[in-house]
Structures are given as C-alpha cells and as structure tokens.
Amino acid sequence: MTVLDAPIDVRADFPGLFDADGKPWHYLDTAATAQKPRQVIDVVTRALGTDYATVHRGVYSRSADMTLAYEAARRAVARFVGGEESEIVFVRGATEAINLVANSWGAANLKAGDRILLSTLEHHSNIVPWQLIAERVGAEIDVVPLTSDGRIDLDAMAAMITEQHKLVALAHVSNVLGSTLDARRAAGIAHNVGAKILIDGCQAVPRMAVDVKALDCDFYVFSGHKIYGPTGIGALWARGEILDAMPPWHGGGSMIDRVTFAKTTYAPAPTRFEAGTPAIVEAIGLAAAIDYVTAIGMDRIAAHEGALVKAARDILSGVNSVRLLGPDDSNGIVSFAMEGVHPHDIGTILDESGVAIRAGHHCAQPLMEALGVPATARASFGIYSDESDIAALARGMERVRKIFAND
C-alpha cells in the first residue's frame, strides 16, 4: 500500500506509539489528544528538574532564567499564530479561553436583547459557556446550519445575521467532520454588522498554518495537548485593543498592580488574566511542541494528513453499510457510521486489532442530532500517522464486517 508521496517519518520520536514490548500501536485518536515527541518530553523533564523555579517573583538567577523561558514561550505562541506577544494569554486550554472571553468580554459587553451566533457543529466547549452568559445577561443564541457536506453554511450565516448579533463563535475545523471554515469570510460577515468573532482553533493549529491577522478574527483559541504539547496549557489570542479593555475574570496573585482593602488595581493585559502561579512547565513544553511542528512545516503536515484522509475514506467507502460523514477533503479527521453496528462496538473490535479510534458523540451532541446518529466512529491522524495505520484500519474494519456480516 502506497498512499504517501513524501511521508513524514517521525514515529521513532513518539514513545507512546509503542507498547511495553516495543510493538507498534496504531493511534488514530489524535483529534482527542496528540502523542508527545521525545523532544517535548525532554524539555518538560528538564524544566521540572534541573531548570525548575517559579517565575516573575524570585530575584535569584534560576527564577530569572525560568521567567525568560516562560515569556519566550509566549513569544513562540504569538509568532505561531501571527499575533503579538502582548495579545497572548496562557490558559489551561481552549475551554478555559472561551470561558474567559464569555465571562470577561461577554459580561461587560452583552446585554438583554443581544444575540450570539454559533453553528450546528460546535464542540460543547463552544456552546455551553455562551449559554451560561446568555442566561445571565438575557441574550439569545442562534445557530447556523450546515451545508450538505458538513461545512458551516456561510451563505445562511450571511442571511440570518443582524445588528443584534454581538458575538459569533465558530470552529475553524470541526472535531467530528474535519470540515474547514472559511474563517476570513466568516469574520467579514460578522464585522459587517459590528459583531466580534471568536474562532476555536483546536483542530486547526495542529494541521494548518494559522495567521490571526490574515483571518481578521477578534479572538482565537487553542489547546496545547492537541499540538503535541502537554495538557493543562493553551492560549487565547485577542486583538490588543479588545484585550486591553477586558476586565479580569479570576483574581489572585500576579494579576495585580496594587492591593489594598479599599481598592485593588490590576496589571495590564495579558498579565491581568493570569492569576496565580502559572503553568510554567506546560508553557515551556508548548513552545517546544511549536518548535517541533514548525521545523517539519505546517504545509507539509497538511499534505501528509490530507493523503491519509483520502486513503482512509477510500478504504471505508468500500466497506458495506458504512456511511462517511463530512466533506471529501476533511482536515485530518474521518468520521463514519456503520449500519447496524454501534460505534462503540467498532472501537472495541479495532482496539483488539491494535487500532485506537474514538467512538461516541465527541462532545458534539447537537451535531449528532443533526446527522441523525447517536454517535460516530472517528479516525484522526497526526504527523506520526503513516501507511501502516491505514493498513491496520483496513484489516480491523474487515474484521468488523465479518463479525457483523453486513454483506
């Protein structure tokens, strides 16, 4: 089987792709969380050990060095998404970033009668925070439908958006369908009525080059563990003038200018949004992950995963009773359903064959309802995925077919 013209050969960098006996494991759940390369593991280990100290507080040299490394990580994130260092807030992940925007910008700017625009395919993390703030202030939520091939319908968005809409929040790449949003067009539609737009980039930043200024969005969020970095770290990018005007959400150490019992004044952004001791090691690990993918090249990664998606869709389309979901050019993700077979059964049988996929609603229950299924099976690829994974998926699905005899 030859599916890759110019494969990326990095499997040896990822210890998590092998079991205790050194046998290869076919990990096709990168959309949930990515395995970590040794280069990131080594940086994190050193940061937890010989380099470890707190940041922004100590006057001793190791603390100063760790502070430099932590702020260098912020610059690395800014360069990676095309923003400025002062526009990057470190958070625990995209979920916290969206909650931060909802509870800071949203609480300060949304009021009764305002409207929020989401889409049918959003992850729960880009639905629930907006529901919570809407209930608090009396705003309403509208939902953009999808095209027949599972993309956010921007023609429908343009037709339904009004000047009452103050915030639009959309996924750059669907975590279920792999469909990619024309984020620049979506931003233009939002800005035409004076609305701000937040883009959930969790599935985009590991798979494609992102430039927030070129996208013309107002907020962009992503999680580090999706891009081969540690858990517990992510980033919010926001336009500088918007971030500067946002009130703090969490209170505590570091985010202050001066505290008295009469009044507290706050540090400028982004420090104002980073209360308490930060995720020092995790931020440094995220920077190492960004260095790793940047060295490979985002365009090369996109082409690599695109070839794997095509091969997987070709194989699955030949399995009787399989329904492929999403567009043919889905971005690193292939979701499917098999008539008469629950996705959990598919996942269990594939696991017995050494293949790991995701089975369930993928934190996108409204999308499942729109698709008319309770759940889907999902294979998702990363930079370490290769032809052996496609072959293993094909063998596993043949076993599923034989067990359930869907001929």
Domain identity same for 135 and 209? yes
Q: How many domains does the chain have?
A: 2
**3-class SS of residue 192:** helix
Domain identity same for 141 and 288? yes
- Residue 320 has a pLDDT of 80
Domain identity same for 239 and 254? yes
**What mean pLDDT is reported for the chain?**
96
Phi, psi of 256 (to 5 degrees): -105, 160
Domain boundary among 294, 312, 340: 294
DSSP one-letter string for 340-400 = TB-HHHHHHHHHHTTEE-EEE-TT-HHHHHHHT-S-EEEEE--TT--HHHHHHHHHHHHHH
The answer to the question of residue 140 being in a domain is yes
Cβ atoms within 10 Å of 369's Cβ, excluding its own: 12
- Residue 347 has a pLDDT of 97
The answer to the question of residue 6 being in a domain is no
- CATH number of the domain that residue 231 is part of: 3.40.640.10
The answer to the question of residue 116 being in a domain is yes
Catalytic residues: 363
The answer to the question of residue 37 being in a domain is no
Strand 140-144, strand 115-119: pairing: parallel
- CATH number of the domain that residue 314 is part of: 3.90.1150.10
Give residue 227's pLDDT band: very low, low, confident or very high (50, 70, 90): very high
- Please write the tens of the pLDDT for every residue from 12-53: 999 999 988 889 999 999 999 999 999 999 999 999 999 999
The answer to the question of residue 2 being in a domain is no
Domain identity same for 133 and 259? yes
The CA angle 313-222-4, to the nearest 5 degrees, is 30
- Please write the tens of the pLDDT for every residue from 287-328: 999 999 999 999 999 999 999 999 999 999 988 899 999 999
- Residue 2 has a pLDDT of 60
The answer to the question of residue 22 being in a domain is yes
Domain boundary among 277, 294, 311: 294
- Residue 8 has a pLDDT of 86
Give residue 7's pLDDT band: very low, low, confident or very high (50, 70, 90): confident
pTM of model > 0.85: yes
With a CB cutoff of 8 Å and minimum separation 6, the contacts of 166 are 109, 110, 114, 115, 116, 139, 194, 195, 196
Domain boundary among 250, 279, 294: 294
- Please write the tens of the pLDDT for every residue from 178-223: 999 999 999 999 999 999 999 999 999 999 999 999 999 999 999 9
Domain identity same for 127 and 23? no
Domain identity same for 90 and 160? yes
Nearest to 192 by CA among 218, 161, 170, 151: 161
Domain identity same for 306 and 226? no
Domain identity same for 231 and 103? yes
- Residue 141 has a pLDDT of 98
- Give mean pLDDT, residues 238-261: 94
Residue 258 has pLDDT above 90, yes or no: yes
Domain identity same for 286 and 302? no
Domain identity same for 246 and 328? no
Which structural domain, as residue segments, surrounds residue 362?
11-30+298-404
Give me the percent of the chain exceeding a pLDDT of 90: 93
- Residue 193 has a pLDDT of 98
- Residue 407 has a pLDDT of 52
- Give mean pLDDT, residues 92-97: 98
Domain identity same for 272 and 304? no
Would you say 189 and 183 are in contact if contact means Cβ atoms under 8 Å apart? no
- Give mean pLDDT, residues 82-91: 98
* CA distance to 6, 326, 328, 334, per residue, from 9 (Å): 9, 28, 25, 21
The answer to the question of residue 4 being in a domain is no
Beta-bridge mates of residue 264? 259
Angle between helices 280-296 and 61-81 (to 10 degrees): 40
- Give mean pLDDT, residues 139-144: 98
- Give mean pLDDT, residues 157-184: 98
Give residue 406's pLDDT band: very low, low, confident or very high (50, 70, 90): low
With a CB cutoff of 8 Å and minimum separation 6, the contacts of 284 are 43, 44, 47, 69, 70, 73
- Give mean pLDDT, residues 134-163: 98
Would you say 359 and 350 are in contact if contact means Cβ atoms under 8 Å apart? no
Burial class (CB in 10 A: 0-12, 13-18, 19+), 107: middle
The answer to the question of residue 86 being in a domain is yes
Domain identity same for 218 and 70? yes
Cβ atoms within 10 Å of 242's Cβ, excluding its own: 16
